[in-house]
Structures are given as C-alpha cells and as structure tokens.
A and B are shown apart, each in its own frame.
Chain A
Amino acid sequence: MIEVQNLTKSYGDFTAVDDISFTCRPGAVTGFLGPNGAGKSTAMRMIVGLTPPTSGKATIGGVDFSNIPNPGTQVGVLLDASAQHAGRTGREILKLGAVTMGIPLSRVDELLELVGLSPKEAKRRVRHYSLGMRQRLGIAHALLADPQVLILDEPVNGLDPAGIHWMRGLLRYQAERGGTVLLSSHLLREIEVIADDLIVIGNGRIIAQGSKEELLKGQGTFVQAGDSASLARALTDAQLAFSGTDAFTVDAQPEAVGQVAATAGIALVELRQSDGADLESLFLSITSDSQRGSAFIQGDVA
C-alpha cells in the first residue's frame, strides 16, 4: 500500500506538487493521470526518496522508502526509461540490478524473455535502443526481484499498441495477485484501459480521484426543457445545485430532477444520468492551462 499525505514540493515561488494526498490500495492498479509538468514525476520521486519533500510524507507499507531493506526486491521502480548509461548493454544493466539485489543471474534471462528483448538485442548498448525497447528494459529492471509494489512513471510511453496490451496484462496480473501498482500517464485513453483507480493531477494539485467507474460515470443528471428559464427557477426553488445555461447538469438523481419538473409543470425535452464526458472535459480543461499539455492531449484525441 502506498500512502501519500499532504505531500508538497516547492522550488522557490513555484509549487510543483501542492498538498496532495492519496492512497494506492493493494490488489489494484492506480493510474496517476495528468499533463506533462503537472507534478507526477516529482511526486513519484518523493515517494521513493530521491526528492526531499518540502512538507508532508509518503510511505509504502507504512514505512519510508529509505527504511525498506533491500528496496529493489520489494518495490519495483521505473522513473525514466532513458535514465540509463547509454554505453552499457541492456543485459549488463539488468545484471548490475540483480547483483545489487542479490538475486540469481538467471532472472536476467527470464526477464529479458518476459519483456520481449531478444538475446541479440540484450547484447546491444542502450544507446542503440528505441524508446519502446528502453521501456521494456526498464520494466524488466523493475520486475527483476518480482516485487509486490510497482511504481512506474510513464511506462507505456513509446510502446506500440501491442506493447500497451501486453503491459495491461502484466499489471493486471500484478494487481490480481495482491500487488500494489502505481503508474503515471499523460494520456487519458491509455490509463483508462489499464487502471482500476484514478488520481487526476493538474498544476500540482489533485483534481479528481476515485475508482475508474465512479469517475468515468460522471455525476448528476443531464436535463433540458423547452422553457429553460422556468426550469432554472424551479431548480433554484428546489435548492438543487446545477450548471449550464440552456441545458443543465444538476447535482441530483434523475428521479429527483424529474419530480421537480413535474411539480412545476415543466415539459422536459431530455432527462438522463449525465454521461462520462466529465473526466475528459475536466482533463482537457486542466491540460489547456499549459500549452505543452494541450498540444499533447489534443493531438492524442484527434
């Protein structure tokens, strides 16, 4: 279990991570979603003790990362697939990890096979690897000692659709056997496929969190009437919170909204549970705050 409590990181005036709290439960894949520069990587580096937090704390299984003995065997971490010495071979990188962790070197070959790097590729220097190959190598490194907890920063970045599918199966297996998985992504579509729980972060703050079903279901009721002014008045009188000008999204169940309309004698054009567009529009609105992010997301959606 990963627990993050009021974690904050400031660099001078700039607050990269702003008072975030969340829990990743065992047996589930938690997706950490946000545009580039939202603070995902900084938060993950704080969880594994590489970045000292300004305030707040993060624990894994109740303890600080630095108090976990031989942490590589218990928590598999991939922070940046490109953060490897370009002059080392893929095999050598895994070997260094295995020696540090004290696990049999036979695991190196097992993992290379698992992530689909051929013996020939494993002998090449990482300089000549594509991003997808580096991701596979990084995942192999994180999985070397078969850890219970996985923390992966943008692991799907650079993988082809088959790779994404493979990753999904891999993380699902981890969760089903009781493991805890936290993975970040800047692509809603990607994380939607893989995660059970979602944490959405923008500009260093958590904007939404909960199970995927909850978040994607959207909340409230979509309602539209021919006479929208009367409907607005009736909703206000009934003390129901709503938004919109022509059609409304009301913070209540469809039945309650229908009752209000019936009592007021207003004919409705449409009444239904609001659809799951909320998360996507929320995500698009936070990403359009930063131009970098918006270009990325729009490119992906298009």
Chain B
Amino acid sequence: MSKTFEAAIDLGAKQVPMIRLVDVEMRKLVDTRAGLWLMILIGSVIVLVESAFVITAIVYGENPPWSYLLTSMATPLGLMLAVLGIMTVTSEWGQRTSLVTFVLEPHRMRVVIAKFLAGTLTAIVLLLFTIVFTASLTWLVGQINGIDPMWDVSRSMMLGFGLTQLTGFLIGFAFGMLIPNTPAAIVVFFLYRYVFPPLLGFAALLWDWFEPIEPWINLSAALAPLSTGTITNEETWHLISSFGFWVCLPLALGSVLLVRREIK
C-alpha cells in the first residue's frame, strides 16, 4: 500500500500532430445527423438548382453558357458555405463537447486552426464539385442542342468566383468564432448579408462625411468586381479593408475570447 511510485508524465511524448486534429474535425463535420444533412442539403441544392436551370433552358430551346450556370449558383452556394463556416465552429459549443475537445488538445488555437483547415477543405471540395458539375451540364446542353458548348468562363472570372465563395465561408467561420451559438451566428450573418449593405448605402446618403468611408467597409459591394473578373487598384484596397473589417477583426476577437474563456 505504502509503496512510492514515480510521477509518470512523459514530457518527451509527441504532441498531437495537426493532420490528426484536422482528420478529427473533418469527421465531426459529417458524423452527426445535423452535419450530414447540411452536406446532403448543400449537395442536393447544387444538383437540383442547376438541373432546373438546364431543363428550363432546354425546354425553351435556349443554350445557357457556362458563366450563366456558374453565377446562378453564386447566391445559394455563398449562403450555404457561410452556414458551413458557422457550424464548423459553433457545433463545438451546443452540446458541451468542448469539455472533451480542449482536454485532448489544450492548445485551443490548434483546435481552431484544425477546424479552419477542415472547413476550408470541405468548402473547396464543394466549390470544385460545383465547377465540375456546371461544366458537365454545359457540355450536356451542347450535346442535346447539337451545338458547341459555350465555355465563356475566363480564368480570372473563375478565380473571382472561387474567392468570393470562399470569402462567404470565411465570414461564416469568423462570425462563428465571435458568436458561439449556431442560430445567433446565422441570424447575424443574414443581417450582415441582407440588412447591412442597404443600411450602409442609406447612411452614406444621409451623412456626407460617411460617404467616403462606406466603400472601405462594405464587403458585399467590394466583392462584386471579383465575380466579373476585373478589379481596379482602388477596388482592391476597398476589398482588403472591408475583408479585414468583416473577417480578420471578428476572427481575431473571437480567438482572444476563446483562448481566455472558461470552458464548462
């Protein structure tokens, strides 16, 4: 009974490698019904919306170019990627799984980085799926209508589309970091997306002093040139500034709060 034992903490052990943390976070995105259904929902919306467009086009004897199919996906995909971004972070809080997660990896920012990488990878896969799927539909329409498919998406337009969509995911992730509650974060995202831009425009009309400030924080407006594939120097600065305001700022603030927060 009164034998003495040595303390047995091995400080030479390897810490959990990031790749395993990312692996776990990817699993967590799909191993619950909510997560799985979000993925199924995103996948089916892409397939159904595009198919509806194409069927309508064929019925009316039209020949929709690739750019039309791709940009028609911009809004629904943008919203869904934002929700994915939010849920990547907030799903940790709803059921107190954080009590386990942050005991297995006490360096909380490593968990955040793993979530970020897992979510970004998932968003990129969904994005690639959208691009490949719309391209196949463009080809199919060409075959059915018996004409050459209209490959009118330039490289810069493709890049712009991808970046805009990824920004949607990033905003969701940043909001999720700042507001650790899924419904609340989604509501705030919708306010940001639909209420805030007209409000900004209105404020710019109302107060002269605000008018020059507005483009620097209006991310929706700043993103618009990206999707057309051409962007001026000044617009680039507007984009960087508003991106910093809506993505980097909440992300940094949320990270500081998370590292200091009591997890219970």
Contacts and interface: CB of A to CB of B under 8 A. Distances in A.
Contacts of A79: 99, 103
B9 A100 contact: no
A74 B9 contact: yes
Interface string A88-106: 1000100111011110000
Given A80-B99, A84-B97, A1 B20 contact: no
Contacts of A169: none
A27 B5 CA distance: 6
Contacts of A73: 13
For chain B, which range describes its interface: under 10, 10 to 19, 20 to 34, or 35 or more residues? 35 or more
Contacts of B174: none
A102 B106 contact: no
B100 A27 contact: no
B62 interface: no
B95 interface: yes
A107 interface: no
Interface string B214-249: 000000000000000000000000000000000000
A26 B8 contact: yes
A67 B13 CA distance: 11
B96 A74 contact: no
A100 B103 CA distance: 11
A84 B97 CA distance: 5
Interface in A1-50: 1, 25-27, 45, 48-50
Contacts of A196: 1
B226 to A, nearest CB: 37
A83 B13 contact: no
A26 B7 CA distance: 7
A51 interface: yes
Interface stretch (A56-64, A227-235, A254-262): A56-64
A88 B263 CA distance: 21
A50 B102 CA distance: 7
B15 to A, nearest CB: 4
A45 B8 contact: no
Contact of A148 (B8, B16, B102, B262): B8
A45 B264 contact: yes
Interface in A126-185: 141, 148-149, 178-180
A292 interface: no
Secondary structure class of chain A's binding surface, majority of residues: loop
For chain A, which range describes its interface: under 10, 10 to 19, 20 to 34, or 35 or more residues? 35 or more
B100 A102 contact: no
A83 B104 contact: no
A50 B33 contact: no
Contacts of B263: 45, 50-51
Given A77-B103, A85-B97, A88-B32, A27 B4 contact: yes
Contacts of B95: 83-87
A68 interface: yes
Contact of A69 (B15, B24, B28, B33): B15
A23 to B, nearest CB: 11
A210 interface: no
Contacts of A243: none
A71 interface: yes
B107 interface: yes
Contacts of B252: none
B27 interface: yes
15 contacts: A1-B7, A25-B5, A26-B6, A45-B263, A48-B106, A60-B9, A63-B9, A69-B14, A72-B103, A87-B32, A88-B32, A92-B31, A101-B104, A178-B5, A179-B8
Interface of A: 1, 25-27, 45, 48-52, 60-63, 65-75, 77, 79-80, 82-88, 92, 95-97, 99-102, 141, 148-149, 178-180, 196
Given A51-B262, A70-B13, 6 more contacts: A48-B106, A61-B9, A69-B11, A69-B13, A71-B103, A100-B24
